[in-house]
Amino acid sequence: MAYADEFGGYHEEPAGPAPWLMSAAIAGGLAVTVGLTLLLLRTEAALQPVMLLGAVLAIAAIAWLILWATLLRRASAAWSVAAFALVAPPALAIGIGSLVWEGMKAEQDAKATATIAAAAADVRDPRVSTTLPPAKGPMSSLLRRALIDLLANQRDYARAVDASGIGDLNSFATLTRKGSVIENCGRLGQLAKTFEASKKRHASITAEAKRAPELATMQVAMRRQFLASMEQTLSRGSAYAQQVSGYELDAIEAAEDACEVLAHRRWLLEGDRIMFTSAADLSRFQHAVRAMQIAGAEQERLVEQQRAQLRTMGEGMIRGTLAPR
């Protein structure tokens, strides 16, 4: 386009960038924006959805500013509008689509977590092998693996309890048999050491779960909720676990005391009843049995609480996933 100068002469306006160059630049800006958006989505677990969409818009704006500084400022306004319209929407569409897809997967994962937690809560006898439901994502996978290891640890300890012969104290008819626990009450003392080893194994499993790589893929709020629930429900450092441990050791100590009284053999077996010939032994035995019963009842109460907490943990994961973020 020509224009007149102050002396009446005519000059041609400098030509803007060639259309093919503008098109190529916009295509390049689009490719960079989409590429950076896809790269950003890899770290989505560390960002809230609003922050993620804001970051996508910022990437698109920076790409547009670079285009403007290099080419668009010498082109018509139509090219500037077209550039932003072509660069920003695809990136936003990818970001929104990813959020929707990840939200659906997170919901499935949370529901699987609840199902797995409920299945573990229904385990009444750790001696029986249990197959937990399949995982559907990082959270349910982590919990499933931890619970499988914890149930195996419980199963090993339960078998050690059976092998100790402590059950003989509940069935007097077995006390007269060869190999009865009263022939070696030290086996019950060894059980306390086995329990301490089981505690350490439990602590190791939960500590490993807290360092699991799956945690890095969870959304920040969900990760915090999950770790808090694990600490409260499964950790040996929780108040619940400390109480259970205390009652278990009390029960073992009382069982060993009862065993030592019976080992004196100052008693007679009449049917399914035992008659002591020593008043002191009778008193000590009754005291030990009461202590075992109290510890057992308290343990059962706490175990029921843990089962309820496991179910609540899974349900809480679902609520946390479906809640607005």
Q: Which of 57-61, 145-149, 273-277 has the lowest mean pLDDT?
A: 57-61
Instruction: Report pLDDT digits (tens) over 32-52.
Output: 666 666 666 665 544 566 666
Instruction: Quickly state the pLDDT bin for 86 (edges 50, 70, 90).
Output: low
Q: What is the pLDDT of residue 10?
A: 47
Instruction: Quickly state the pLDDT bin for 251 (edges 50, 70, 90).
Output: very high
Q: What is the pLDDT of residue 176?
A: 78
Separation of alpha carbons 322 and 317, rounded Å: 9
Number of neighbouring beta carbons within 10 Å of residue 111: 19
**246 φ/ψ angles, rounded to the nearest 5 degrees:** -60, -45
Instruction: Quickly state the pLDDT bin for 1 (edges 50, 70, 90).
Output: very low
Q: Contact 268/274 with Cβ under 8 angstroms? A: yes
Q: Contact 47/55 with Cβ under 8 angstroms? A: yes
Instruction: Report pLDDT digits (tens) over 55-73.
Output: 777 777 777 666 666 665 5
Q: Which tokens is 96 given?
A: 């929104």
Q: Which of 62-76, 230-244, 287-301 has the lowest mean pLDDT?
A: 62-76
- Looking at the DSSP bridge assignments, the partners of residue 276 are 267
Kindly write down the DSSP assignment for every residue of 44-57, as one continuous string. Answer: GGGS-HHHHHHHHH
Q: Which of 102-116, 184-198, 272-286 has the lowest mean pLDDT?
A: 102-116
Return the higher-pLDDT residue of 35 and 138.
138
The model's pTM: 0.71
Instruction: Report pLDDT digits (tens) over 111-122.
Output: 888 888 888 888
Q: For 133, left (φ over 0), alpha (ψ -120 to 50), or beta? A: beta
Q: What is the pLDDT of residue 269?
A: 84
Distances (CA, A) of 43 to 101, 212, 293: 15, 17, 53
Helices 279-322, 220-233: axis angle to 10 degrees equals 170
| Res 302 pLDDT > 90 | no
| Res 324 pLDDT > 50 | no
Kindly write down the DSSP assignment for every residue of 99-151, as one continuous string. Answer: HHHHHHHHHHHHHHHHHHHHHHHT---TTS---PPPP-SHHHHHHHHHHHHHH
Separation of alpha carbons 279 and 298, rounded Å: 29
Return the higher-pLDDT residue of 201 and 221.
201
Distances (CA, A) of 106 to 47, 213, 219: 15, 16, 9
Q: Contact 267/172 with Cβ under 8 angstroms? A: no
